[in-house]
């Protein structure tokens, strides 16, 4: 019983700490990210009125999967290779969109691999650099959200 009370107090404390974040207007929340209460800043920005291209560049020695579903589905990215979604001369990718990058194979518990994404833009091309690290248990996937205003968020 004491463990349940301790867990409940911990959750209440955690909730109180997260409520200290600044509150955004309803309009900003509706287009900011998939998680409406998330207040992180955009990592980059594109022009939402122009065609968009996303290039996923693997800087790893393992296979990863880039998924832009349901628009384009899954694409395997080989080590030191890249894949491209969309074109800069055609409006193929509608906003908002989500790109998820995951490890192709689940890492073994004795050799955990963590995935890192580096997002930058060149004009209206979003360049996603994929790196891995043997840093203990961590994320084996990360997601990029591009909202209707062209703001790019990393999760």
- How much is the pLDDT for 37? 61
Within the chain, strands assigned E span 44-45, 53-58, 64-67, 74-77, 82-86, 97-103, 114-122, 125-133, 141-146, 151-154
| DSSP state for residue 2 in the 8-state scheme | H
- For the chain, 155 residues long, the average pLDDT of each consecutive 10-residue run is 47 46 37 55 94 96 90 92 94 91 82 88 96 73 93 93
Alpha helical stretches, state H, the chain: 2-18, 26-32
- How much is the pLDDT for 137? 57
For residue 101, the cross-strand partners are 66, 142
Helix (H) or strand (E) holding 39: none
- How much is the pLDDT for 17? 42
Torsion of CA 134, 128, 65, 151, to 10 degrees: 120
Residue 105 φ/ψ, nearest 5 degrees = -115, 140
Other Cβ atoms closer than 10 A to 55: 16
- How much is the pLDDT for 106? 76
């Amino acid at each position: 019983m004491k463990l349940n009370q301790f867990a409940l107090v911990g959750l209440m404390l955690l909730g109180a700490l997260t409520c200290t974040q600044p509150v955004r207007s309803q309009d900003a929340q509706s287009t900011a990210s998939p998680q409406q209460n998330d207040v992180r800043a955009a990592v980059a920005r594109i022009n939402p009125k122009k065609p968009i291209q996303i290039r996923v560049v693997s800087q790893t020695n393992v296979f990863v999967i880039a998924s832009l579903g349901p628009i384009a589905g899954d694409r395997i990215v080989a080590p030191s290779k890249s894949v491209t979604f969309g074109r800069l001369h055609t409006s193929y990718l509608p906003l908002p969109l989500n790109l998820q990058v995951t490890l192709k194979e689940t890492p073994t518990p004795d050799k955990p691999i963590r995935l890192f994404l580096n997002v930058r833009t060149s004009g209206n091309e979003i360049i996603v650099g994929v790196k891995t690290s043997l840093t203990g248990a961590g994320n084996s996937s990360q997601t990029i959200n591009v909202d209707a205003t062209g703001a790019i968020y990393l999760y």
